[in-house]
Amino acid sequence: MTRVAVLYGGLSPERDVSLNTGKACGAALTAEGFDVVMIDMTTDLMTHLREAEPDVIFNALHGEWGEDGRVQGVLDLYGKPYTHSGVMASALAMDKQRAKAVLSDAGITVPQGKLVAREKLREGHPLPPPYVIKPNAQGSSVGVFMVEAGEDGPPLEIIDMDDMGEQVLVEPFIKGRELTVAVMDGKALAVTEIIPAEGWYDYEAKYADGGSRHVVPAQIPDEITHLCMRWAEKAHIALGCRGLSRADLFYAPDGHYPAAANFQEKNSDVNAALTDIVNKVIMLEVNTQPGMTATSLAPEQAIHTGLSFNQLCRWIVEDATWPR
């Protein structure tokens, strides 16, 4: 019987999300007949792995020391097959600003923005409001601040928030319909529209009961669906992702986003007449460790294609390799 160590919990602000992911995946893998060992990740991870002696490691961690390349380095050192992306893709996707440079070079439209030292926020608005301030290397909408038009300046409490990182990412506030696309083994599954109960898709909307509604497949024009799925696949490849990833995008049906300057060069297969449609889509980021409960976004899309949650977890284990 294959022994699978499920890494969950961990050290990041996304610990609670990871606990839910790990418990759901552990239960699914047990139901699929695997010998499952649950490991709440600590700095003694290597000791825990040696004690568990798994055949495969299922990475159900989120955030720092989970999807930023560091735990992947430990798993490479351990030398057994593990799931999801490897060191380089994980580190690159987690660094939002560097990831945007790679995605833009692949011809994908991404938000403009810049990194700003937290202390510099004392000097006033880093961008004309409205804009968003967020950590450059966190997920799950942790530590995201919205600065509305008319406000005197950015929230100065950010200056004392060391967990935001030495530099924060500042981007113009982007309006549009919130879409997401899961990619499994390089193939996009579907497009989901996320409709928050109120406001925007923040941490509360993601994880509170009734915080948001998911529509899969998204009720959008076919050409927008095709573009979102194509870009998600391109992003998965450009960043070097493995296994399961998820790309988050916005769609502006009544407006447009500024296309990447090299759009035509990098998208020579797209008819110039479609440029206006393309300009209605923008990619925010790629998540190499999507949330994994039966009602999470990526599993919902797998279920939509006919793959149960348990089957998805089994596939993730069977896809595991070393090195990644």
- Residue 291 designated active-site: yes
The answer to whether the pTM exceeds 0.95 is: no
* Mean of all residue pLDDT scores within the chain: 90
Q: Which residue among 14, 68, 171, 178 is the active-site one?
A: 14
Q: Which residue among 78, 201, 203, 207 is the active-site one?
A: 207
Q: Which residue among 287, 300, 314, 324 is the active-site one?
A: 287
Residue 61 and residue 102 in one domain? no
Domain region containing 127: 114-172
- Residue 248 designated active-site: yes
Residue 182 and residue 161 in one domain? no
- Residue 14 designated active-site: yes
Rounded to an integer, what distance in angstroms lies between the CA atom of residue 63 and that of residue 50?
A: 24
Residue 14 and residue 143 in one domain? no
Q: Which residue among 90, 248, 257, 300 is the active-site one?
A: 248
Residue 81 CB partners (closer than 8 Å, separation 6+): 55, 56, 57, 320, 321, 322
pLDDT one-digit tens code per residue, 146-161: 999 999 999 999 999 9
CB 6 within 8 A of CB 29: yes
Q: How would you class 63 by CB atoms within 10 Å of its CB: exposed for 0-12, middle for 13-18, buried for 19 or more?
A: buried
One-letter amino acid at 206 equals: K
- Residue 287 designated active-site: yes
- Asked if residue 323 has a cis previous peptide bond (ω within 30° of 0), the answer is yes
Q: Which residue among 139, 291, 296, 324 is the active-site one?
A: 291
- Residue 285 designated active-site: yes
pLDDT one-digit tens code per residue, 276-293: 778 899 999 999 999 998
Residue 217: both structure tokens together: 């497949």
- Residue 230 designated active-site: no
Rounded to an integer, what distance in angstroms lies between the CA atom of residue 168 and that of residue 117?
A: 6
Residue 211 and residue 104 in one domain? yes
Residue 43 and residue 132 in one domain? no
User: What CATH number should be reported for the domain holding residue 243?
Assistant: 3.30.470.20
| 183 has a pLDDT exceeding 60 | yes
Residue 128 and residue 249 in one domain? no
